[in-house]
Amino acid sequence: MNRDQLSFVRHDMLPEAEPPVTEKGIVKWLRENLFSSVSNTVLTLAAIWAVYYLVSASGPWLINGVWDTSSLSQCREVLQGQVGGCFSVLTERWNQLLFGFKYPTHLYWRPALAFVLLFVALAPVLFSKIFPRKMLVLTGLYPFIAFYLIWGGTILTPIFALLGIVLGFLVYRKLIYQSAAMGLLGGVATAFVFWILTGMLGDTVAGVLALEPVASRDMGGFMLNLMLGVVCVSLSLPLGILLALGRQSTMPIIKVICVVFIEFIRGVPLITLLFVANVVLAYFLPPGTNFDLILRVIIMITMFASAYIAEVIRGGLAALPRGQYEAGDSLGLDYAQSMQFIILPQALKISIPGIVNVAVGLFKDTTLVSVISMFDLVGMVRGPILASTAWNGVYWELFGFSALLFFVVCYGISQYSQWLERQLQTDHH
């Protein structure tokens, strides 16, 4: 056989060659994400320059910051003309920024404990796949525990409030088989009658397992923003769902009521509703009636947020194909069952970004209560702290700290919503 006709067959594999430098590691990431084109390169260089400018300008202000003086004048004496922030206002007035200037200092442990328990109560709701469903009992009890810790007074007040809700729910379950409207009205009426009867007990139960009471006017700081944000978001979501369903109802009276409510609330600025809560509501109440200001503000902010959430959820309901509604009918489900098991889970999943957007905006809008003389975080900064002679002129430090607190909360809400969307993702395109 001719030697030229023989073919060579390799018995051993060649060793793997290293990929080019431009196709691995940090170089590949930079080339693909920051320098993939001329326009991206220009934007990257501009962003690097902007970051450098901000860091070089704010770096000395942060590094040379003073933390241990008792006034702005002492800060300036320590700095001696150098650039630096006067962060001593944060170390000296941290309690007022967080709890207000009237909340008793020896009772700070109570709102702090309520804040810690908030995460325990939210855990089984936000991460239902991780925590056992038995923890939902604590979630249901948390509002009453938090009220007892923050406001104090007799423990019978939150107990009676809980019992009223339980009795109302039992009546609702009993009457709902006859009519949904009758069940709802019967449950609400039962709860109110029970609360009125127990409220007549008054002073006879005032000292039973009582904590030192704290008036609503003594609450302020970031604690007030958190209270308003958590309560109003929690209440506005179910109310918004009811309004969205009511707007799509075939019953004319219910539909008209929901449409008028939603359109009126969405057409009025929140600050106007807060002024109504602060001033106008008193004219519609009997003389001598003491209607707590925080409760009035909660009602108005909840109404405002529920109208926006109703429109977001209505968009989710409209996005579902007609076949989903027909699926419930084909299975023999009634309206309530179809909504509970088929329609609302899908509509709420679609509406998550819009609901989170409303929740974040609502939490930031709680700072508007400062215009009606409620000393929340911004109210404390603009009022007692900057009005004092010791810290008059400290702006960047106080407002920067306020912005940081709000950013942490709002960013956490946003990240959770993105995580929840990934968990609920069912398509794999």
Task: Kindly write down the DSSP assignment for every residue of 237-265, as one continuous string.
Answer: HHHHHHHHHHHT-S-HHHHHHHHHHHHHH
Q: Kindly give the residue spans of alpha helices, DSSP state H, lying in 34-87.
A: 38-63, 72-79
Q: How high is the pLDDT of residue 236? A: 92
Chain mean position to CA 185: 30
Tell me the C-alpha distance between 60 and 65, whole Å: 8
> Mean of the pLDDT values across residues 151-180?
83
Tell me the C-alpha distance between 237 and 255, whole Å: 19
Tell me the C-alpha distance between 83 and 85, whole Å: 7
Q: How many helices (H) and strands (E) does the chain have?
A: 18, 0
Phi, then psi, of 84 in degrees rounded to 5: -175, 150
Q: How high is the pLDDT of residue 288? A: 65
> Mean of the pLDDT values across residues 230-237?
91
Rg from Cα positions in the chain? 29
Q: Residue 429 pLDDT > 60, yes or no?
A: no
Q: How far is CA 361 from CA 223, 300, 336, in A?
A: 18, 15, 31
Each residue of 99-118: b (16+ CB within 10 Å) or e? bbbebeeebeebbeebbebe
Residues 359-380 pLDDT 10s: 999 999 999 998 888 888 998 9
Which amino acid belongs to residue 210?
Answer: A
pLDDT: is 264 or 340 the higher one?
A: 264
Q: Kindly give the residue spans of alpha helices, DSSP state H, lying in 100-251.
A: 109-126, 136-151, 156-175, 180-199, 221-247
Ramachandran class of 88: left when φ > 0, alpha when ψ lies in -120 to 50, beta otherwise = alpha
Which amino acid belongs to residue 316?
Answer: G
Sign, CA torsion 32/37/43/46? positive
Q: Residue 403 pLDDT > 80, yes or no?
A: yes
Residues 282-321 pLDDT 10s: 777 666 667 788 888 998 999 999 999 999 999 888 888 8
DSSP assignment of 291-358: --HHHHHHHHHHHHHHHHHHHHHHHHHHHS-HHHHHHHHHTT--HHHHIIIIIHHHHHHHHHHHHHHH
pLDDT: is 338 or 93 the higher one?
A: 93
Tell me the C-alpha distance between 151 and 414, whole Å: 30
Tell me the C-alpha distance between 174 and 83, whole Å: 70
Sign, CA torsion 6/9/10/16? positive
Which domains, from first to last, does the chain contain?
218-429 (1.10.3720.10)
Confidence of residue 182 (pLDDT cuts 50, 70, 90): confident
Phi, then psi, of 376 in degrees rounded to 5: -75, -165
Q: How high is the pLDDT of residue 340? A: 77
Confidence of residue 206 (pLDDT cuts 50, 70, 90): low
Q: How high is the pLDDT of residue 289? A: 66
Tell me the C-alpha distance between 160 and 165, whole Å: 9
Residues 96-115 pLDDT 10s: 999 988 899 999 999 999 99
Q: Is the distance from CB of 273 to CB of 366 less than 8 angstroms?
A: no
Tell me the C-alpha distance between 375 and 381, whole Å: 9
> Mean of the pLDDT values across residues 261-270?
92
